[in-house]
């Protein structure tokens, strides 16, 4: 059971949160202009690394906000947490 430091509410138990997939995936500006391969890549391809992973979580039973988490998938150590739109550099200070 993780403890996640919500960038709005502070540290809370994992059960208040929901996992929201890999972070940093940008929806194509104009989907109809994408090739089938580009669209499939956006739709299906995920990194699933052994090590640092950039992911999104939502404090669904709290402030309701989505935010970015960098987490080690082996040790489960949470490296940094940032609000949506915050860059990694800014997040380094807030976490």
Partner 1 sequence: MSQTHRLSQGGGIDRARELTFTFNGRRYQGHPGDTLASALLANGVSVIGRSFKYHRPRGIVGAGPEEPNAIFQVGTGATTRPDQRATQVELFDGLVASTSARLGFDPLSVNNMFARMLPAGFYYKTFKWPATYWPRYEEKIRAVAGIGESPIEPDADRYDHMNAHCDVLVVGGGPAGLAAAQRAASAGARVILVDENPAFGGSLLSGRDAPDNHVDGRSNRDWIANTVAELAAMPDVRLLTRTTAFGNYDHNFIGLMEDRGDYLGQPAAHGVRHRLWRVRARQVVLATGALERPLVFGNNDRPGVMTASAVSIYINRYGVTPGYRAVVFTNNDSAYGTALDLHAAGIDVAAVVDVRRRPSGALAAAVRAAKIPIHDGCTLIKARGGRRVRSVEIGRLSGEQLTGDRWKISCDLVASSGGWSPVVHLHCHIGSKPVWDDQAACFLPGADNPGQTSAGSVTGHFNLRDCLAQGFERGDAAAAAAGFEPTAGTAPSAPAAGETMPIRPFWLAPSGAPISRGPKQFVDFQNDTSAADIALAVREGYESVEHVKRYTALGFGTDQGKLGNINGMAILAATLGKSIAETGTTTFRPAYTPISFGALAGRNAGHLFDPERKTAMHEWHAAHGALFENVGQWKRPWYYPKDGESMQESLDRECQTTRTAAGVLDASTLGKIEVHGADADRFLDLIYTGARRNMKTGTCRYGLMLHEDGMIFDDGVTAKLGDNHYFLTTTTGGAAGVMNWLEAWHQTEWPDMDVFFTSITDQWATIAVNGPKSREVLQALCNDIDFDRDAFAFMTFREGTVAGVAARVFRISFTGELAFEINVDANHGRYVWEAVMAAGAPYGITVYGTETMHILRAEKGFIVAGQDTDGSMTPMDMGMQWAVGKKKTDFIGMRSLARPDIVASGRKQFVGLLPTDGTVVLPEGAQLVDDPQAPLPMPMVGHVSSSYHSVTLGHSFALALVKDGQSRMGETVYSPQPDGSVIAATIAGPVFYDREGARQNV
Partner 2 sequence: MSEPVMESPLIGRPHSIQGQPADGQSAAQSGVSLGERPFLGHFSLRGKADDEALMAACSRVFGIALPKTPNTWVEGEGVVIGWMGPTEWLVLVAAETRHEWLISLREALADQHAGVVDLSGGQTLITLAGEHARDVLAKGSTLDLHPREAQAGFCTRSTLAKSAIFLRVVEAGERFEIVVRRSFADYLWQWLVDASEEYGCEILPADATLALSASADNDFDEAVNAS
C-beta separation of 88 from 31 below 8 A: no
Nearest to 31 by CA among 23, 40, 22, 20: 40
What are residue 72's DSSP bridge partners?
A: 52
Q: Is 55 in the site for partner 1 (CB under 8 A)?
A: no
Residues near partner 1 (CB under 8 A), total: 28
Near partner 2 by CB under 8 A: residue from 10, 21, 24, 85 = 10
Binding mask 41-80 for partner 2 (x = CB under 8 A): --------------------xxxxx---------------
Which does residue 89 touch among partner 1, partner 2, none (CB within 5 to 8 A, set by kind)?
Answer: none
C-beta separation of 95 from 69 below 8 A: no
Angle at 51 between CA 41 and CA 94, to 5 degrees: 95
Binding mask 8-47 for partner 1 (x = CB under 8 A): -----x----x-x------x--xxx-x-x--xx--x----
């Amino acid at each position: 059971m993780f403890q996640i430091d919500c960038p709005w509410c502070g540290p809370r138990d994992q059960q208040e949160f929901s996992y929201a997939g890999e972070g940093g995936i940008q929806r194509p500006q104009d989907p109809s202009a994408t090739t089938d391969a580009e669209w499939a890549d956006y739709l299906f391809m995920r990194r699933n690394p052994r090590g640092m992973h950039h992911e999104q979580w939502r404090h669904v039973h709290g402030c309701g906000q989505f935010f970015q988490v960098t987490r080690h998938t082996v040790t489960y150590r949470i490296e940094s947490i940032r609000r949506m739109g915050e860059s990694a550099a800014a997040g380094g200070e807030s976490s």
